[in-house]
Structure 1
């Protein structure tokens, strides 16, 4: 199948990866085939974090929350590696606060918040609350939606 990857010149990934992502989109209705293209793109992603974002969205909208969560974990690991971020939250939090406007740190916070959403969808509510609370405490402008998720997860059930 021929694809025109020049349509998305702003998407800064190598042409072979761009072609795989476009093939996945063109084959959206065939989940098995489109997932193969996504997995191939992920295998070639390297430092191209946009590929992880595209894969996360694919899996999320296909309701494959396990793979969406796995992809956010891979993205978080990749950013941690690229930015030399610590794993420990107590050490990581002040870095995230101080660098919250940097593009990769914003992507990290967005991915972390997305992992909270996916965990909630998977029924892991306590972990989802913890993650959304962490991001909410950093995100004064609610750019990442973690505050909304936290409010939903902690809202007392209404009486009839």
Structure 2
């Protein structure tokens, strides 16, 4: 059962375990799983693979496995604007699932178990924020990308998701190798 702690919605252990299971594929309808598999098999055919992903999404619109499949498809096909939209959807889902503020700028290190790599839901949030930061930078929104990287490093100071690599890239942007 959900409860309120310090004015914020948190989840009990069983609820978190249930959501973590859903994140890993539990609770995904069989037909949606089949469409994800077919999308993987048809990856070289953009139209067919995307249709399978859309069919999976129609069956399980908010399931992390479907969203991750869509994100990977768009990312690896170089459709970065669409990948960004999916990353934003993942970030919103991860915020809801973790009981976090919808605005990533307002999330604090104490809001979730960001320091534990075993904590699947907070880790999903960190990876969604990292995808968002990376894509913002790739699409030319360097300020927004860097702000998200700084938030990642604040939430995960031990840098389990390797946001420091993105931060290093950000620092080198606009500088020659000779500098």
TM-score by length of 1: 0.82
- Give how far 1:125 is off: 1.4
RMSD: 2.1
Partner of 2:177: 158
Aligned partner of residue 108 in structure 2, secondary structure: helix
Partner of 2:12: none
TM-score by length of 2: 0.74
Q: Is residue 120 from structure 1 mapped to residue 137 from structure 2 by the alignment?
A: yes
Partner of 2:19: none
Partner of 1:135: 152
Q: Is residue 99 from structure 1 mapped to residue 113 from structure 2 by the alignment?
A: yes
Does the Cα contact within 8 Å between 2:153 and 2:159 map onto a contact in 1? Answer: yes
Partner of 1:57: 72
Number of corresponding residues = 150
- Give how far 1:46 is off: 4.3
Highest RCO, 1 vs 2 (Cα 8 Å, sep ≥ 6): 2
Cα distance change of structure 1 residues 30 and 69 upon mapping to structure 2, 3 Å threshold: same
Cα distance change of structure 1 residues 116 and 91 upon mapping to structure 2, 3 Å threshold: closer
Gaps of 5+ in 2: 1-23
